[in-house]
């Protein structure tokens, strides 16, 4: 699969099954019904955008984006909330095309900072290297508490 065969486009409701499979591959168990419910809310929000990479008619990657406003300085940023390329489609330039599409959308929105969170699990090591290769730097640690 060459990079030229990849199309980047917005995710649609017809893509929910493929989105669900990708979210599960990322390590977050969810059902098609749950994903459909979530995507209805996400797609209705003007500060969110979900894009997919399609190769040979198959969705092989997804990125979920959200605009945010800084508290600590003037301006706005984009956060990549989810980013995955199917295991069997990695190392083919698809992730690079997808991340560049994310950056293009941020620029179109007048945003000049992009944030990506990625877990510290062993299976994320390759993702961290990819982000560094794409010019991203490790800046902070995140914390979570479930209520």
pLDDT band for position 96 (cuts 50, 70, 90): very high
pLDDT band for position 35 (cuts 50, 70, 90): very high
Query: In this predicted model, what pLDDT tens digit does every residue of 70-91 receive, in sequence order?
Result: 999 999 999 999 999 999 999 9
The predicted structure's pLDDT at residue 4: 54
Q: Does 1 score more than 50 pLDDT?
A: no
- Residue 100 to residues 58, 83, 117, 146, Cα–Cα distance (Å): 20, 12, 17, 33
The pLDDT of 4-11, averaged and rounded, is 90
The predicted structure's pLDDT at residue 138: 85
3-state secondary structure of 32: helix
The predicted structure's pLDDT at residue 130: 87
- Residue 6 to residues 23, 58, 96, 115, 129, Cα–Cα distance (Å): 20, 10, 11, 24, 22
| Domain architecture of the chain: domains with CATH | 3-133 (3.40.630.30)
Q: Does 17 score more than 80 pLDDT?
A: yes
The pLDDT of 18-43, averaged and rounded, is 96
The pLDDT of 85-100, averaged and rounded, is 94
Q: Does 2 score more than 70 pLDDT?
A: no
């Amino acid at each position: 699969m060459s990079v030229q065969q990849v199309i980047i486009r917005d995710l649609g409701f017809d893509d929910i099954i493929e989105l669900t499979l990708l979210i599960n591959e990322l390590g977050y168990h969810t059902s098609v019904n749950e994903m459909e419910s979530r995507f209805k809310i996400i797609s209705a929000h003007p500060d969110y955008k979900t894009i997919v990479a399609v190769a040979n008619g198959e969705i092989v990657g997804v990125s979920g984006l959200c605009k945010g406003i800084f508290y600590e300085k003037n301006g706005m940023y984009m956060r990549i909330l989810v980013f995955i390329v199917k295991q069997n489609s990695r190392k083919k330039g698809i992730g690079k095309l997808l991340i560049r599409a994310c950056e293009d959308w941020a620029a179109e929105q007048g945003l000049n900072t992009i944030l990506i969170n990625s877990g510290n699990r062993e299976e994320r090591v390759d993702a961290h290297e990819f982000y560094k290769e794409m010019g991203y730097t490790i800046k902070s640690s995140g914390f979570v508490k479930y209520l």
